[in-house]
Homo-oligomer: A and B are copies of this chain.
Amino acid sequence: MYIYGHKNPDTDAIVSAVVASRLYKALGYECQALRLGELNKETQFVQEYFGFAIPELKEALPDGSQVVLVDHNEISQSLDNLNELEIFAIIDHHKFNLKTSSPLNIRAEIIGSTASILYKMFVENSIEIDKQTAGMLIAAIISDTLYFRSPTSTEQDREIVEKLNKIAGIADLETFSLQMFDAKSDLSEFTPEQIITMDYKPFDFNGKKFCIGVMETTSPDFALNMQQQLIEAQVKIKSENNLDGLLFFVVDILHEQSTAITCSEFETQTVLEAFEASQVSEQILNVGSIVSRKKQIVPILEAYFS
């Protein structure tokens, strides 16, 4: 069976696919971790730091193939023919939008990262966690919780990182997290279109087709200095994909503050009203201490459009 994280994979999606494949192999299953997109800079840093093999890119599978989905459950974030595949298991920490024709295994929790759930599954099944796996899981938890700054972070995520670091032995987790976030913030070699769609997910708000890109960064000025290009890229992507709305948020990880760069009057009004944002300039809006797409941005927009 094939184990996949979501499209536009982040560190949790890649690490969880690799670690889930180790878990299922230990449980006697034949399986392979795959991916649905390129590694971002943070994940590249984590991959080089721990030296694990990068999952192969494989964006299509024949109908009937058996898959495990980690860190996602919605078809819009998965393989296009998901409804024709056999989902053996899902391990996830997002909201659900799932329709299957057979029973399946699901492990979902209200917790900061899929990696935290995988840690529990190793413990419950009495499978030893090796040093590399422990480090990888720590990196995924740090990434998804913004080193415990995100409102999605729970006390359990902290405790799990503490336990895992007894195995991983990372000397200074704070410094390690800054290295990860700085790697993620280095976007110098990307086009504006790539920056918008790097961490980018589709949503349906009461029939309106939206996409929301998020740039978590320690250097928000990088984005603000190229605001005109980022606006033009959004206009292009929105039009090419026939979206009703496209939103892009620059999340200042260290100061836990976000800025929306809006691409048209509709998005500007939406952000001003839904988030009670303050206007810095015509298309630059300060949305305050919003840092989580999942726990803050999406629920606010769902309530606004409902």
Give A contacts to B, CB under 8 Å. 93-110, 124, 152, 294, 299, 302
Contact = CB atoms under 8 A, between A and B. Distances in A.
Which of A93, A94, A104, A302 has the most CB atoms of chain B within a 10 A radius of its CB? Answer: A104
A104 B99 contact: no
A145 to B, nearest CB: 13
B100 A104 contact: no
Contacts of A106: 96, 106-108
Contacts of A98: 96-99
A209 to B, nearest CB: 16
A143 to B, nearest CB: 17
Contacts of A103: 93-95, 108-110, 152, 294
Given A103-B110, A104-B108, A124-B124, 15 more contacts: A94-B103, A95-B100, A95-B102, A95-B103, A95-B104, A96-B98, A97-B99, A97-B100, A98-B99, A102-B110, A102-B299, A103-B109, A103-B152, A105-B108, A106-B106
A99 B74 CA distance: 10
Contacts of A96: 96, 98-100, 104, 106
Contact of A107 (B107, B294, B299): B107
A102 B152 CA distance: 11
Contacts of A124: 124
